[in-house]
Each structure stands twice: as C-alpha cells, then as structure tokens.
Amino acid sequence: MHPALSVIFFTTLSGAGYGLLAWLGLSIFMTHARADLMPALQPLYLWGLAAGLALSTVGLLCSLAHLGRPARAWRALSQWRTSWLSREGVMALLVPLPAVALMALLLVVDPGPGRAMVLGACGLLLAALSLATVACTAMIYASLPPIPAWRHPLVVPVYLLFALLTGLALLFWLMAALLPFAPPEAGALLTLAALGALLAGCKAVYWHRIDRQALPAGRGGAVGLPGREAAVFERPHTQASFITREMVFVAARRHALALRLAAIALLAVAPLLAWGLAAMGWLAPGGLLAFTCVALLAGAFAERWLFFAQARHVVSLYY
Amino acid sequence: MTALPPPPTRKLGLVIDLDTCVGCHACATSCKEWNAGGILGPLVDEQPYGREPSGVWFNRVHSYELAPGPAEGGGEPQPAMTLHFPRSCLHCETPACVTVCPTGASYKRAEDGIVLVDEDKCIGCKLCSWACPYGAREYSEVDGVMKKCTLCVDRIYNDKLEPEDRVPACVQACPTRARHFGDLGDPDSEVSKLVAEREGVALMPELGYGPVNRYLPPRPRRAGDGDAGEADAAPASKAGVAASVQRWLGRVLQR
C-alpha cells in the first residue's frame, strides 16, 4: 500500500495526542478527590490537556490533506453504523468535550466536592474516548479483508500501545517541566524503555508473520482459474494507474530492513540509552526525556511507514 | 446509506467469456467514451497528451500467459495459452467498498444490486478502493472523488435509446460477443443459462464478497502436440483427384 504522508502524520501525531489525553484523564480520575494535590497538579493538567488537544487536532488536520474533497469532511460523521472511519470521526469529535470541560472546571469552578465528582467523571470519560478513537483508527485497517497483513491480531493492540507509549513519554516530559517539587528521575526513562521493548517485540512478531504470509488467493484464482498458473504477459495500461500507485506499491526490501532496524533502535534502544545516561548521572533526565519523546515519535513514524509500505493488497495479484 | 439493502432479487451483472475474449480493449475504450459523458462523468485524464498520461478507466484488460495445466475432469492436459482478462466492478452481493464508506456516498441499489457512488457526497478518502480486492474503483485526482463502473445504469434503463441499445457500452462494443449482460438472480435468464452451461465462475469467492459477475473459463483445448500432424496425415492417405484438388485449394486459401 502507498504510504501517504498525510495518513502517517495523522496516525502518529494524533496517536500521541490521544495517548497523552488518556493518561491525563486517568490521572485526573485518580486524583479527583485530592483537593490538596490539585493546585500543584493543575499546571500539568492544563498544559497537558492543551498539548493533547493540539496534537490530536494537528493530526486530524493532516488527515484532511488525504481527502480529495476536505470541505465535505463533515459527511464522514454519518455512517457510524457500518464504517470504522466514520466511527473514528465521531469519536475524534467527542474527545474535546470532556477535555475542554476539564480545563474549564480547573480554571473557572471553585474547588469543592461537586467539582471533584465532575472532574473524576470527565477524566474517566476522556481516557475511554481517547483510547476508543485510537482503536477505531486501527480497526479501519484491521477490518479490510484484501490486505491480510492488516488483519493480524496485533494490529489493534500495537496501535493502542503506540498511543500509550508516545503519550506517556510526552506526559513524563511535561511532568519534568511543570512539576517543580519533584525533580525528574531516571526511573521514568526505564519505564519508557520497557514499554518500548514490549512494542518492538510485538512488531518483531508481526514482521515475522507478514514476511511469511501469502495472499489469500493466487493469480490463477484471481482470474477465475484456480489451479492454473498465470504470468503477466501485458499490463492493461502503459503508464501507472491509480490502482498501481495506491495499491501495488512495493517497498524495496533493503530499505525496509534498514527502516525496521531503525524503528527498533528508536523504540527500544534509544530510551534504554537515555536511561543509562541518566542513571550514570552524565546528563539531566529532563533533557533526556525530551530526546526520548522525539526518538519514540520518530520510531512510530518509521513503523507506520512500514505498516503501509509492506502491506500487500490482493489486487496486486493482477499486476 | 452505506448499510446494505436486503438482498435484491434482481442481480444485474456481466458474464464475460474468457474463451472468446481477444483482448482488443474495445470494451475499455467504449466504456471510457460513454462514461466520459455518463452519470459518473466526466472521466478527466491527467496529462492526456503529456509524458505520463493517467486517468480513470472502469474497465482494464489484462493479458496473461497460462502455463500448461493438468488434465481436469477426465479431459486432456491443457497446453499453454494466452488469456485476456477484462477486469471491472463485479457488483458484489456483500460489497465491503459500500460498508466502509464513511459518508454514505457509496451504495448498493436495492432494486437491481448495482453498486454506485454519489459523487456529490464522496469526500475522496479512498478507503473504498482499499476495501475492494478486485481493483474496481479508481480515484479521480482531477475531481477529488471516487469513480467506478455504473453497469451503464444510464443506458440500461434509458427509454431514449432503442431497446437493443439498452445494454452496457462494453457489451455492445465487444466484437467477439464475449460480454453478456443480464439478470443473474433469475435462473431462467439467458446469462444464467450461459453460466450453467459453461460452468461460469466467480472471482475469488473465498474472500466472501459474493461477486455477481461471472467469468466463463476457456473451453478445454484439444491440446496434444500430435494433433496437428494427424490432421494433415489423414487426407494425404486418400488417393484420387478430389483429394489433390482439396489439398491444392487448401494451400491456395492458406495464403
């Protein structure tokens, strides 16, 4: 499949945004009754919610670039009964409601038991909606029978893990910057390294599988003659067509291997390295957290490019 | 609505004879010509006279080399042959291209099963083209919307046309009559009888899309390398003037 930059930017940026919002929602839910902690945490929550909303919105705007008629995008909200893309759109529009409500509550409403209750409910709702949006994004891909690589059971968990990992890295970085009473510790980097290693392991399993996966039919079956061997004698068109550009995209094996190694290095090795540097006391954890954020996002970007470029579509049988 | 209608009783579709298709692309060009002005038109090309011409076609004719095949059903082993394969929308019974559409632009008609795109609603997200294993949908870079075969819905019901012209443009244009149009939901229709007689097949039915169009596989070839020699040898053994005249005529007509 053709790796469209608009879709790659969308899924990585909005994934990180929704991951950050999910962690913030959970955090607010868990601290909603602690009136003593809330003033100290308030800057983190406010800036975090703003950053999460900004990232997810930028991601959504990137996805509009993939549309032929972006001005009609509102129509995509109508078919949530059958279409995962529509469900994703609906979810993405619902997420800002609890997020903005949380910001308003923290900024405008005086602390009290009533506010605490609503904070908790909105926090939980925000976490659920954010993760549901990411799951809908993954289901768009996982529900397409012509692309067997995307039907793998790890596709949805990996999308969720990427959102949670990049979101958590951003949260740790914001904590280092906005919570002055607790100087950042190296432990956060080790947590990121462990999650990154888990994700890299999932991807290794996925890559191992798709490298050995055949398309669900042969070329003989594609032309209605299963059992016969067919070789392309002449293509129907002399130039590339939409079908060959979009669906018969083939990534060079050499480049793909290099990108896979780069993704593993960025996801698992970079956070571990950052943790090592911090644990030795050679560099400050704050700067290393920023480095880890960038590395993880770059790793997500490389993985997402491969996710598209290495997925074979059944229609390629005809070419 | 992208939810599918209840299964229609009429299933309009095409039956394509791979035995007689000669790969002339007349179906593809006549389709392009008609649909450039049809309900999904215009089918604008990019750089039609430039270095890399590209554009939307609803019909694409592939050509393949079939390797020699094993004997089937007690017949002879099949020799290598050329296969011309016209590829277009199969108007599936459970088309995922319709259900994945987020806008309701893609729909399957309840009355005859034709799968269409409402161009005024399409946002050009291309997801339907990903959902189609047969490559039936092509995106127009110029219009920013998805295009697909309409089964010439603006011909087959068009009472401004003569009754014999109310068939898809590709069917009318085919010089070898390899393309047939009709109701595949009616077991007594001409096309259904043809499919039954020639053991027509659906493409990749295991994917679960329930294609309506059928392809008639090439008739078994009389194969064997010895056949040609035997045919020549038979008349040579006959004596007489009639046989010599026949051979002479045969040679003359071969030129």
- Written as six digits, the tokens of B27 are 């179906």
Contact status of A313 with chain B (Cβ, < 8 Å): yes
Please state the φ and ψ torsions of residue A64, each to the nearest 5 degrees. -65, -30
> What was the pLDDT predicted at A183?
64
Q: Using the beta-carbon criterion (under 8 Å), do A240 and B54 form an inter-chain contact?
A: yes
Contact status of B62 with chain A (Cβ, < 8 Å): yes
Using one digit for the tens of pLDDT, what is the confidence trace for A191-203? 999 999 999 999 9
**How high does pLDDT run on average in chain A?**
93
B108, B92, B101: which is closest to A140 by C-alpha?
Answer: B101
Determine contact, residues B152/B38, Cβ cutoff 8 Å: yes
Using one digit for the tens of pLDDT, what is the confidence trace for A99-144? 999 999 999 998 888 999 999 999 999 999 999 999 999 999 999 9
Half-sphere exposure of B22 (CA within 13 A, CB side): 7
What CA–CA distance (Å, rounded) separates A76 from B104? 8
Mean pLDDT value across residues A168-176 = 93
DSSP assignment of A17-52 equals HHHHHHHHHHHHHHHTT-TTTHHHHHHHHHHHHHHH
Q: Into how many domains does chain A fold?
A: 2
Pair A249, A108 in one domain: no
Q: Which residues of chain A have a CB within 8 Å of the CB of B122?
A: 68-69, 72
Pair A189, A90 in one domain: no
Domain extent listing, chain B? 12-216, 231-255
Pair A126, A3 in one domain: yes
Residues within 8 A of B (CB atoms), A 43-82 only: 66-70, 72-73, 75-79, 81-82
> What was the pLDDT predicted at B255?
63
Mean pLDDT value across residues A213-241 = 92
What CA–CA distance (Å, rounded) separates B218 from B170? 20
Class of domain B12-216: alpha beta
Given B125, B143, B144, which is nearest A85 (Cβ)?
Answer: B125
Contact status of B220 with chain A (Cβ, < 8 Å): no
Pair A152, A89 in one domain: no
Using one digit for the tens of pLDDT, what is the confidence trace for B179-238? 999 999 999 999 999 999 999 999 999 999 999 999 999 998 875 554 444 444 444 455
As to burial, measured by CB atoms within 10 angstroms (0-12 exposed, 13-18 middle, 19+ buried), residue B60 is: buried
Pair A67, A12 in one domain: yes
> What was the pLDDT predicted at A182?
64
Pair A190, A131 in one domain: no
Q: What's CA A196's distance to the chain center, in Å?
A: 13
Q: Which residues of chain A have a CB within 8 Å of the CB of B143?
A: 68
Mutation site, A11, A60, A69, interface B, largest B CB count within 10 A:
A69
Using one digit for the tens of pLDDT, what is the confidence trace for A250-261? 777 778 999 999
What CA–CA distance (Å, rounded) separates B128 from B100? 6
What CA–CA distance (Å, rounded) separates A257 from A29? 42
> What was the pLDDT predicted at A47?
96
Interface confidence, given as ipTM, is: 0.91
Domain that holds residue A281: 148-319
Pair A91, A155 in one domain: no
Per the listing, tokens 């443009």 go with B169
A148, A186, A155: which is closest to A286 by C-alpha?
Answer: A186
Q: How many CB atoms lie within 10 A of CB B48?
A: 9
What CA–CA distance (Å, rounded) separates A33 from A49? 19
Pair A168, A103 in one domain: no
> What was the pLDDT predicted at B2?
76
Q: Using the beta-carbon criterion (under 8 Å), do B135 and A68 form an inter-chain contact?
A: no
What one-character DSSP code corresponds to residue A231?
Answer: E
Domain end call among A143, A170, A194: A143
Rounding to the nearest 10 degrees, give the CA dihedral for residues A174, A15, A122, A54: 60
Domain end call among A108, A128, A143: A143
Sheet containing strand B12-17, strands side by side: B179-183, B12-17, B214-216
Q: How many CB atoms lie within 10 A of CB A53?
A: 18
pTM: 0.89
Pair A266, A313 in one domain: yes
> What was the pLDDT predicted at A197?
96
Mean pLDDT value across residues A160-166 = 97
Q: Which residues of chain A have a CB within 8 Å of the CB of B88?
A: none
CB environment B243-253: b (16+ within 10 A), e (fewer): eeeeeeeeeee
What one-character DSSP code corresponds to residue A313?
Answer: P
Q: Using the beta-carbon criterion (under 8 Å), do A231 and B67 form an inter-chain contact?
A: yes
Confidence of residue A33 (pLDDT cuts 50, 70, 90): confident
Pair A178, A82 in one domain: no
Using one digit for the tens of pLDDT, what is the confidence trace for A262-310? 999 999 999 999 999 988 888 877 888 999 999 999 999 999 999 999 9
Residues of chain B with pLDDT below 70 are 1, 73-74, 223-239, 255
Contacts of A68 (CB under 8 A, 6+ apart): B122, B123, B124, B125, B126, B139, B140, B141, B143, B144, B145, B146
Pair A153, A276 in one domain: yes
CA distance B148 to chain A (A): 12
Pair A155, A138 in one domain: no
Q: Using the beta-carbon criterion (under 8 Å), do B61 and A145 form an inter-chain contact?
A: no
Domain end call among A114, A143, A172: A143
Contact status of B158 with chain A (Cβ, < 8 Å): no
Confidence of residue A179 (pLDDT cuts 50, 70, 90): confident
What CA–CA distance (Å, rounded) separates A277 from A293? 15
Given B18, B100, B204, which is nearest A217 (Cβ)?
Answer: B204
> What was the pLDDT predicted at A186?
79
